[in-house]
A and B are shown apart, each in its own frame.
Chain A
Amino acid sequence: MSLLNDLINLDLSDTTEKIIAEYIWIGGSGMDLRSKARTLPGPVSDPSKLPKWNYDGSSTNQAPGDDSEVILYPQAIFKDPFRKGNNILVMCDAYTPAGEPIPTNKRFNAAKIFSHPDVVAEEPWYGIEQEYTLLQKDTKWPLGWPVGGFPGPQGPYYCGVGADKSFGRDIVDSHYKACLYAGVNISGINGEVMPGQWEFQVGPTVGISSGDQIWIARYILERITEIAGVVLSFDPKPIPGDWNGAGAHTNYSTKSMRNDGGIDVIKKAIEKLGLRHKEHIAAYGEGNERRLTGRHETADINTFSWGVANRGASIRVGRDTEKDGKGYFEDRRPASNMDPYVVTSMIAETTILWKP
């Protein structure tokens, strides 16, 4: 055992210049992460210096067997918290050999929106609150829940402490440090209302970086749960009944919203979002209708609403923002299994580019 430990933790920088790069991409379901590693001759810090690569798309439902190559374009680099040293994680997106983004590649379209001059000028910031549930392996019942039964009702678990209230903190805490090490802009964590459910926040990040960082944070989280022998679930309503769902509330602001008089810009933006409620909802995650019921701190999926400090609304504006006359707002509709490239770019598109 200790020999394996020593080998995994070997610091290669004394013996070779070579580094290991783990290329990561999103698979055919739009939610599954895939990765494989390759050796590079020396340390790299600029994604454009990394070679393109390819993988077998027929094994991930992304290409037919007789024309199976899908090309990986490296887009963002992070330090590898598992291999350490100069080794890296590389967030990629997927293209046909002809250079067209494949259907599951949502980053391409988002990058286009974020490079539009109007959007660039507004410097859109995002803070994403990613919720997730930990499940026991084999039974797929939430961590800490008695198999064949239920824990006591919700109440004591939100930000709770203690062996009867908090399940899986080691995963959450190691994820926090791993993300800080990797260079992900993780801003906080907390235990959630449903026992076995947790949340981490990433932000503020600008434009396309938000999507990259959330996907890398999700990858690191799934690698950690793999080590811990626990199953990670991004399902928006893992347990039906009187148990909270899991969301990915997206906090958003533009330069105009952060400056004086921003509150009016915010109100206009919220109005526009209200006019495109159906389009947004359709892009905010599969199965969200099981979660957005109007109960358990959600707004009903069919109704668009907003309010100050109101956790039962579609959009919530914080008291500080109201008081200062500028700030940001929180879109509470996205589900935990949303694609951050889609959600962030759609919010920017609707509020900055779209003219009703």
Chain B
Amino acid sequence: MAHILAPSTQWQMRVPKSSTFGSPIATKMWSSLFLKQNMHGAAKATGKFRVLALQSDNSTVNRVEQLLNMDVTPYTDKIIAEYIWIGGSGIDTRSKSRTLAKPVEHPSELPKWNYDGSSTGQAPGDDSEVILYPQAIFKDPFRGGNNILVICDTYTPAGEPIPTNKRHKAAEIFSNKKVVDEVPWFGIEQEYTLLQQNVKWPLGWPVGGYPGPQGPYYCGAGADKSFGRDISDAHYKACLYAGINISGTNGEVMPGQWEYQVGPSVGIEAGDHIWCSRYILERITEQAGVVLSLDPKPIEGDWNGAGCHTNYSTKSMREEGGFEVIKKAILNLSLRHKEHISAYGEGNERRLTGKHETASIDTFSWGVANRGCSIRVGRDTEKNGKGYLEDRRPASNMDPYVVTGLLAETTLLYEPTLEAEALAAQKIALKV
């Protein structure tokens, strides 16, 4: 995980009233993306058309780009708000936009909205309205100006969270006084794989075959080792622009796989920032003609899976004597291993095999600097006697609301019986 910066309280973020340019995604950046894409033989649109970013044969000037990048602020106070929510599978993001009369700074100023839940597997056709409650605002890196992205969660018309709404429960946990007092910080390492369109084979891999074995790709550079850097770099800047607390990025062990980190974020923000960053990433891959996969084990065999390691600390862990608090937290986690695992992402059993820098899914283990464990504690933390822990179990397709909420709940609100504690301490060799 990258260096520790003070977490941003993003709800206080102010959207500036004016901007001097339209979209921050400059034309040059996109055209370089297309060049790279051709080199890897990635996005081949059907027929002659580049389906996504359009450059037609019969216009000599690309006026669509000019319209897309137009800064409308001199002509109108109106802004466009893109409302984003999580669909029926629990991992698909959906969005639609609406015009608002003027710029907005706080989610409470935004109107509730609704959508057709019968089209996303979240409501029946004869009672199809699902209500969107705006929860977090980010600047829109695609439209620029004062336009915004809005992360929402979903409710029935009666005001009940629908089953796929995991944010509601997490927000409850994060407003519990015990949790608030401990100021929980999260740093989430989101891994993802890029796939070629139509064939769904990883970016940079020869269709019908495999690249050379893992080794040269982790943090690698070069046309034969790094595939899709433009997407990762564009995403980095877009997230910084949007106000997402992105702290770093790197190429991963499997070729075509990448990682970015978001944090440290406090409480419920971690979930909001991760979901918004996933949305921005999928908008970018859409533009680039590449398919985004959050599958935890995209290719079977001797190829790394994709995880979402979650780094975690509380106020007590960060202060003098914190290492003992960390060990107690690990003890609690060991007693709820099954509950956590079942909430850490679908298909995780294909990834957590005990090989490829993972711990086996059935066994709970911890260790200092040990990447083959469920929980890893950094050497710095051990040396300083305080710091944070890394839960390496969550899969890349985990829901950050669920995982962060569960971590806070298990370590701060859950109290095991004394015998259970003693047994567990013995089992995982912990002197607490």
User: What residues of chain A lie closer than 8 Å to B282, measured between beta carbons?
Assistant: 161-162
Chain A residues with CB under 8 Å of B143's CB are 173, 177
Establish whether residues A189 and B63, one from each chain, have CB atoms under 8 Å apart when the complex forms: no
B242-279 contacts to A, CB under 8 A, are 279
A307 to B125, CA, bound (A): 11
Chain B residues within 8 Å of A34, by CB: none
Task: Convert A163-197 into 0s and 1s, putting 1 for each residue whose CB lies closer than 8 angstroms to a CB of B.
Answer: 11111111101111110110000111111010000
* Bound Cα distance A161, B282 (Å): 6
Closest residue of chain B to A201 (Cβ to Cβ) is: B98
Contact, CB under 8 Å: B92 / A229: no
With A146-B46, A180-B99, A186-B99 in contact, is A4–B61 under 8 Å at CB? Answer: yes
Set of chain B residues within 8 Å of A47, measured between Cβ atoms:
none
Instruction: Name the contact of A4 in the complex, choosing from B47, B54, B57, B60 (C-beta under 8 A).
Output: B60
Contacting pair B43 A228 (CB below 8 A): no
Judging by beta carbons under 8 Å apart, are A188 and B60 in contact?
A: no
Q: Does the CB pair B61–A229 fall under 8 Å?
A: no
Report yes or no: A229 in contact with B56, Cβ–Cβ below 8 A: yes
Q: Is the CB of B72 within 8 A of A180?
A: yes
CB neighbours of A160 from chain B (8 A): 92, 94
Query: CA separation between A230 and B58, bound complex, in Å?
Result: 11
Give CA–CA (A177, B94) in the complex, Å: 21
Residues of A within 8 A of B80 (CB): 176, 180
Check if A243 is an interface residue, CB within 8 A of chain B. Answer: no
B164 to chain A, nearest CB (A): 14
Q: Count A-B contacts at CB 8 Å.
A: 171
Report B115-134 CB contacts with A as 1/0, cut-off 8 Å. 11011110001111100000
B46 partner, pick from A145, A166, A174, A297, beta carbons under 8 A: A145
- The size of the chain B interface, using a CB distance under 8 A, is 62
Q: Are B68 and A174 in contact (CB under 8 A)?
A: yes
Q: Cβ of A309: which chain B residues have Cβ within 8 Å of it?
A: 126-129, 157
Partner of B54, one of A138, A159, A228, A311: A228
Contact with A along B51-83 (1 / 0, CB 8 A): 111101111111110111010100110101000
Q: Select the stretch in B286-294, B308-316, B359-367, B397-405 that faces chain A.
A: B286-294
Residues of B within 8 Å of A171, CB to CB, are 54, 64
Residues of B within 8 A of A181 (CB): 70, 72, 75-76
Interface residue B304 (Cβ < 8 Å from any Cβ of A): no
With A228-B54, A229-B56 in contact, do A147 and B47 touch (Cβ < 8 Å)?
Answer: yes
Q: List 16 A-B contacts (CB under 8 A).
A: A138-B47, A139-B47, A145-B46, A147-B46, A159-B115, A161-B93, A162-B292, A170-B68, A177-B68, A187-B98, A188-B98, A190-B95, A190-B96, A226-B59, A228-B54, A311-B126
Known pairs A158-B120, A160-B94, A191-B96. 19 more at Cβ < 8 A?
A: A81-B70, A138-B47, A144-B51, A156-B92, A158-B94, A159-B94, A168-B54, A177-B68, A180-B76, A180-B99, A181-B76, A224-B67, A229-B49, A229-B56, A229-B58, A230-B49, A230-B54, A310-B125, A310-B127
Please list the residues of chain B having a beta carbon within 8 angstroms of any beta carbon in chain A: 43, 46-47, 49, 51-54, 56-64, 66-68, 70, 72, 75-76, 78, 80, 87, 92-99, 114-116, 118-121, 125-129, 142-143, 157, 197-198, 279, 282-283, 285-286, 288-292
List the interface of chain A (C-beta within 8 A of B).
1, 4-5, 8-9, 79, 81-82, 136-139, 143-147, 155-156, 158-171, 173-178, 180-181, 186-191, 193, 224, 226-230, 297, 307, 309-312, 318-319, 323
